[in-house]
Amino acid sequence: MRNSRRAAAFAVAAWLKTKDFPSHYLPDGPDRPFVQDLVYTTIRRLRPLRKVLGELVKKWPKGEMEALLYIGAAQVLYMDSVPDFAAVNETVEAAKACPGASVAKVVNGVLRNLLRRREELEAMVAASPADVRESFPSALCRRWVARYGAENAEKLMKFMNGSAKTYLARRDGSFSELGRGEKVEEVRGYAEGEFIVQDPATRHAVELVDPKPGEKILDACAAPGGKTIQMAWRGAEVVACEVNPKRRRRLEENIARAVVSDPHPVVVGAIPESGSFDKVLVDAPCSNTGVFGRRPDARWGWSEEKTKTLAALQSGILDSAARLVKSGGTLVYSTCSLEPEENGGQVAAFLARHPEFSAVAARESLPFETGEDGAFATSLVRA
């Protein structure tokens, strides 16, 4: 029988080395939910785990030993559903598969020492600054404290350290939470395209587009297709664009399942160089700071420099999309970011460059207020 801790250690070690999506390294099979929970908990809590382990090892380990110590400590400190004996014993068993007997010996000694000093080490973490305690980049934490205040910034980080809920968006516009242990593919109506997986915060962009039957709408950054599908459900004629081939395949698969009974099939292709659309949605690539709860790995790739680069990309996409909006038409810009240079600042700069547009409405979801993902959307009308 495969040791699930071994699978988790492999995924964490691979992520530490490549910084690729950790989901790429998760196994298929019945133990996948536990392995995913363990891997994501480890990545989510990386800073306090590193601080604790730093008190327990003389020389920082690398490779599989580092990953094994991370997942062992994550189970002990952050996964109440896992008994301590199982966390230690199963992680040590996983370590025995590593070359050389020393790995299992070290893992066993460190984790048992963690159990003995648990109260002391948990108190150390609790007394640490919020960025360490809640496990976020220090620069990002400072930005949030400056913007929202220390209390709300901590609420925001705690929200993103909770278990991310899965929601189903249905054809009638309602949202329902997927039950614990339920599989999306086994929910009634899946094959018939009666719902898609989508957080309720995404409704803001779709509602600002306000798609009507027969309207010609361009979704400029469409994958994985949730907003495209919601607009098609309302009878709009949607052209969905995605430049990334891998993401485009996923977009096409989702559309094929969820738009099976609509009279106007969605057209998937590249962004047109010319044309005229009633409405254009730019759900722009962004820093994802509003969805770090779902993408715990993304927080470790965040930087202010990267945010500036993304803002420049968003600016170029908006300028290209603006040319495709007909007179009297609507351009909706949205992100899953919380950062002002990607949201309000981006819109202000766009309006300064394009006086033919005017802002009509804006919506924002702040997780510490809404209990939903972070999101921003604004609608701009062309004269």
From the candidate CATH numbers 3.50.50.60, 3.10.450.50, 3.40.50.150, 3.10.105.10, the one assigned to the domain spanning 198-382: 3.40.50.150
- Planar angle of CA 248, 287, 305, nearest 5 degrees: 125
Name the nearest CA neighbour of 301 among 136, 188, 67: 136
pLDDT digits (tens, 9 = 90+) for 366-381: 999 999 999 999 999 9
Percentage with pLDDT > 90 across the chain: 83
Name the nearest CA neighbour of 72 among 133, 32, 130, 115: 115
Mean pLDDT, all residues of the chain: 94
What pTM was computed for the model?
A: 0.93
- Can you say whether the dihedral through the CA atoms of 268, 273, 275, 279 is positive or negative? positive
Name the nearest CA neighbour of 153 among 165, 164, 139: 139
pLDDT digits (tens, 9 = 90+) for 248-275: 898 888 888 887 555 566 888 777 877 7
What residues does CATH 1.10.940.10 cover in the chain? Answer: 4-128
How many whole angstroms separate alpha carbon 284 and alpha carbon 310? 9
- Higher pLDDT: 243 or 285? It is 285
Q: Is the pLDDT of residue 143 over 50?
A: yes
Q: How confident is residue 129, by pLDDT bands cut at 50, 70 and 90?
A: very high
Chain centroid to CA 50: how far?
A: 23
**Which tokens hold the place of 223?**
């994958």
Q: E strands along 94-222, which residues? A: 167-170, 175-177, 195-197, 216-219
What residues does CATH 3.40.50.150 cover in the chain? Answer: 198-382
pLDDT score of 140: 98
The CA-atom distances, in angstroms, between 123 and each of 118, 126, 133, 201, 300 are 8, 5, 10, 36, 25
Q: Is the pLDDT of residue 217 over 90?
A: yes
pLDDT score of 1: 45
**Which tokens hold the place of 230?**
């919601």
pLDDT digits (tens, 9 = 90+) for 303-325: 999 999 999 999 999 999 999 99
Q: How confident is residue 100, by pLDDT bands cut at 50, 70 and 90?
A: confident
Is 98 assigned a catalytic role? no
pLDDT score of 6: 95
Over residues 62-71, mean pLDDT = 95
Q: E strands along the chain, which residues? A: 167-170, 175-177, 195-197, 216-219, 237-241, 267-269, 277-283, 325-335, 357-365, 375-382
Helix (H), strand (E) at residue 314: helix 304-322
The CA-atom distances, in angstroms, between 365 and each of 204, 218, 237, 313, 330 are 9, 24, 28, 23, 21
Q: Is the pLDDT of residue 162 over 60?
A: yes
Q: Per the residue annotation, which of 141, 241, 286, 336 is the catalytic one?
A: 336
Architecture in CATH of 4-128: Orthogonal Bundle (1.10)
Q: What backbone torsions phi and psi does residue 171 show, to the nearest 5 degrees?
A: -60, -30
pLDDT score of 155: 98
